[in-house]
């Protein structure tokens, strides 16, 4: 099993600030996924990155896949309280769909 390391573990910021969450590994991935899990809910897929160097934007969220496809980052611009949640990166280990998650980054945005 390839290991996904997420950093930081916890991030507390004020509304309007920017933040970046990292997902790193020593292994190469064909794709990586980012999920957000809000309290009391299941994870929701935000994006899948596939191509090395790829940048994808989802409103104020920007996702980047490293050129070597070993790492990824999530940048949030002008964070809002609604961005509060557990951010998880994950990869699919086999065709049956087994997902291996990173440990997650807990983000708290206060008004």
Partner 1 sequence: DTEVTQTPKHLVMGMTNKKSLKCEQHMGHRAMYWYKQKAKKPPELMFVYSYEKLSINESVPSRFSPECPNSSLLNLHLHALQPEDSALYLCASSPTQGRQTYTQYFGPGTRLTVL
Residue 95 binds partner 1, judged by CB under 8 A: yes
Residue 99 binds partner 1, judged by CB under 8 A: yes
Indicate which single residue of 28, 98, 108, 110 sits in contact with partner 1 (rule: CB under 8 A).
98
Residue 104 binds partner 1, judged by CB under 8 A: yes
Q: How far is the CB of 11 from partner 1 (least distance, A)?
A: 14
3-state secondary structure at position 82: helix
Is residue 65 a contact partner of residue 49, using CB atoms and an 8 Å limit?
Answer: yes
CB atoms near residue 21 (< 10 Å): 22
The two counts, helices (H) then strands (E), for the chain are 0, 11
Q: Binders of partner 1 among 40-59, rule CB under 8 A?
A: 40-45, 48
Residue 82 binds partner 1, judged by CB under 8 A: no
- How far apart CA 71 and CA 29 sit, in angstroms, is 9
Binding residues for partner 1, rule CB under 8 A, total: 20
């Amino acid at each position: 099993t390839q290991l996904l390391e997420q950093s930081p573990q916890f991030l507390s910021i004020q509304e309007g600030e920017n933040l970046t969450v990292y997902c790193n590994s020593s292994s190469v991935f064909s794709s990586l996924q980012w999920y957000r899990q809000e309290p009391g809910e299941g994870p929701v897929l935000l994006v899948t990155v596939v191509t090395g160097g790829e940048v994808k934007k989802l409103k104020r969220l920007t996702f980047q896949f490293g050129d070597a496809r070993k790492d990824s980052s999530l940048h949030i611009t002008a964070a809002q309280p609604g961005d509060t949640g557990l951010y998880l990166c994950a990869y699919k280990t086999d065709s049956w769909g087994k997902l291996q998650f990173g440990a997650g980054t807990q983000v708290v945005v206060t008004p």
